[in-house]
Amino acid sequence: MVGLASLKGRAELRRVTAAASAVVTLTLAAGSIAHAQPAAPPQADNPPAATAPAAIPSDTPAGMRAAHILDLINGDVTVDPAAVREWTDAAVLNSLGPDGLAAPLEQLRTTGPYEFVSYSGTSTAATVALKTRTGLPFELRIYVSTAGDADTVNGLLVRPQTPDIESFDDFTAALDVLGTDYAVLAAHIEDTTCVPVFEAHAERSMPMASVAKLYVLGAVADAISAGDLRWDEVLTITTDTKSLPTGELQDRADGSTVTVREATEKMISLSDNTATDLLIHRLGREAVEAQAVALGHHDPESLTPFPTTREAFLIGFGDPERREAWREADYADRLALLDSVQGEPLEVDETTIIYRPVYPDGVDWFGSQNDICAAYAHLKAKDTNVTDILALNPGLTLSSTDWSYTGFKGGTMPGVLATSWILTDNTGQDWYFGVQQSSTGAIGLAENLYTFEIAGKIMGRSDAAVLRIN
């Protein structure tokens, strides 16, 4: 097998499921913030046929819930969290929070409608086989509890079907199914140099979304090394520093405090946007921009000015005239635009956040696979606190048989999915593997999970990547 660790043996993964919260940490614009009534999602020129309700039994609890869920994800109205809560099991609500299943269902809806393939099930469990517009097959499994006065959904599983991956060519062929533009790099790291073992468009500059938080991490590490910042320094959360999910800090009260260490850990492990912005405000924009040079970006000017996540939301999803102005602006004019949104309430077009990619207007953070690998290589050479933080959320759980260390950062924006790993095998050799994808439309939940599954397979994983909620 030709794979990332082909010279050291196949890296086997322990069986692991990706919980809903793990998926959400990859997003900059979480679907759970969408409560508006948007227009219908973008339709393909030849959309697939509607689901076949006659094939789904209406006389079983699982069948009834399955038919309802299919109506939701194939519908043209935003999934209503309040309505979903009424038929969601209390245990799921306790696990996922007040929006419960509405967030993953809305993420599915963004790339519907889906072609119905088949149904099978019992009175309390249903499996619906579906296909996306590009022909990606996946299963939607619904589990129902019949205890109590009402039948409630107590489990939801999304399982993409993926091909065998025995080579990097298999991997890129699997990516082709999604119809996205993409870049792939597998490399071993020698000091701070990336030596490719496979690359596809690795030099192509593409949107990175939250992977760009690696540059904030670099700025934190350098400021601490220089004595200008301490891990235990306290940062104060204010209305003006709060961003949108993902994350947790946006839900804390104004005046709450967090240490630099906690903010940095949340920025990487949860992709916490408010934590990121707190750090940028403390460090100064210029310190983060300087990391484009320090971490080996091929075009540092493309990361200047470096917006906070709050600024990116306001420019990309607020007043459309600002987004248009940003697209044509030079550095000075972009900086002026960022200054103009300071202190403004975080009012954005929620429909646009779900559906409309803004990276074509330049609203994102841009870099190539070569740039991301270089950033990891330089970060690995810094204080061990940095590598500890990168390992808090490994993205996938790899077997210690072959990998002694796994660090990860991913990110999404509408039409953007980026995943990146730094790994160390048990001989001490450092590796990098990453994928960037971009699309003119949304990249949905099934596609997201599919990408993780095939990435796991190229790193040696043989079990299925699934979204499991129960």
Among 436, 395, 440, CA closest to 414: 440
pLDDT at residue 20 in the model: 27
pLDDT at residue 54 in the model: 66
User: 158: helix, coil or strand?
Assistant: strand
Q: HEC string of 108-127? A: HHCCCCCEEEEEEECCCEEE
3-state DSSP helix/strand/coil % of the chain, to nearest 5 = 40, 20, 40
pLDDT at residue 52 in the model: 58
Q: What is the dihedral of CA 199, 203, 209, 211, to 10 degrees?
A: 60
Place 328 in a pLDDT band, splitting at 50, 70 and 90. Answer: very high
Q: How many other CB atoms are found less than 10 A from the CB of residue 1?
A: 14
Angle (deg, nearest 10), helices 273-283 and 285-294: 90
pLDDT tens for 418-454 read 999 999 998 999 999 999 999 999 899 999 999 999 9
Mean per-residue pLDDT for 70-94?
92
Mean per-residue pLDDT for 163-185?
95
Separation between Cα atoms, residue 346 and residue 58, nearest integer Å: 44
Separation between Cα atoms, residue 457 and residue 186, nearest integer Å: 13
Residue 306: pLDDT over 50: yes
- Mean of the per-residue pLDDT values for the chain? 86
pLDDT at residue 99 in the model: 76
**DSSP labels for 444-462?**
-HHHHHHHHHHHHHHTT--
Among 457, 445, 431, 372, CA closest to 183: 372
Place 461 in a pLDDT band, splitting at 50, 70 and 90. Answer: low
Beta bridge mates, 417: 412, 437
Provide CB contacts within 8 A for 330, sequence distance 6+.
Answer: none
CB 381 within 8 A of CB 191: yes
Place 455 in a pLDDT band, splitting at 50, 70 and 90. Answer: very high
pLDDT at residue 100 in the model: 82
pLDDT at residue 39 in the model: 31
Q: For residues 206 and 30, which has the higher predicted lDDT (pLDDT)?
A: 206
Mean per-residue pLDDT for 194-210?
98
Burial 224-235, CB ≥16 within 10 A → b, else e: beeeebeeeeeb
Separation between Cα atoms, residue 253 and residue 238, nearest integer Å: 8
Among 461, 389, 459, 454, CA closest to 431: 459
Place 460 in a pLDDT band, splitting at 50, 70 and 90. Answer: low
* 3 burial type by CB count under 10 A (0-12 exposed, 13-18 middle, 19+ buried): buried
Residue 18: pLDDT over 70: no
Beta bridge mates, 188: 195, 431
Beta bridge mates, 153: 88, 144
pLDDT at residue 403 in the model: 86
Element (DSSP H or E) covering residue 438: strand 430-438
Separation between Cα atoms, residue 1 and residue 460, nearest integer Å: 9
Residue 96: pLDDT over 90: no
Separation between Cα atoms, residue 105 and residue 124, nearest integer Å: 19
Residue 23: pLDDT over 50: no
Separation between Cα atoms, residue 156 and residue 170, nearest integer Å: 29
Q: For residues 267 and 165, which has the higher predicted lDDT (pLDDT)?
A: 267
Report percent pLDDT > 70 for the chain.
Answer: 86
Place 399 in a pLDDT band, splitting at 50, 70 and 90. Answer: low
pLDDT tens for 99-119 read 789 989 988 998 889 999 999
CB 92 within 8 A of CB 101: yes
Beta bridge mates, 189: 194, 430
Walk me through the domains of the chain, giving residue ranges and CATH numbers. 32-160 (3.10.450.280), 181-438 (3.40.710.10)
Residue 166: pLDDT over 90: no
Q: For residues 23 and 276, which has the higher predicted lDDT (pLDDT)?
A: 276
Residue 2: pLDDT over 60: no
Q: What tokens does 369 get?
A: 């696979």
User: 182: helix, coil or strand?
Assistant: strand
pLDDT tens for 280-295 read 999 999 999 999 999 9
Mean per-residue pLDDT for 265-273?
98
CB 283 within 8 A of CB 218: no
Residue 93: pLDDT over 70: yes
Element (DSSP H or E) covering residue 258: strand 257-259
Separation between Cα atoms, residue 216 and residue 273, nearest integer Å: 12
Residue 372: pLDDT over 80: yes
Place 193 in a pLDDT band, splitting at 50, 70 and 90. Answer: very high
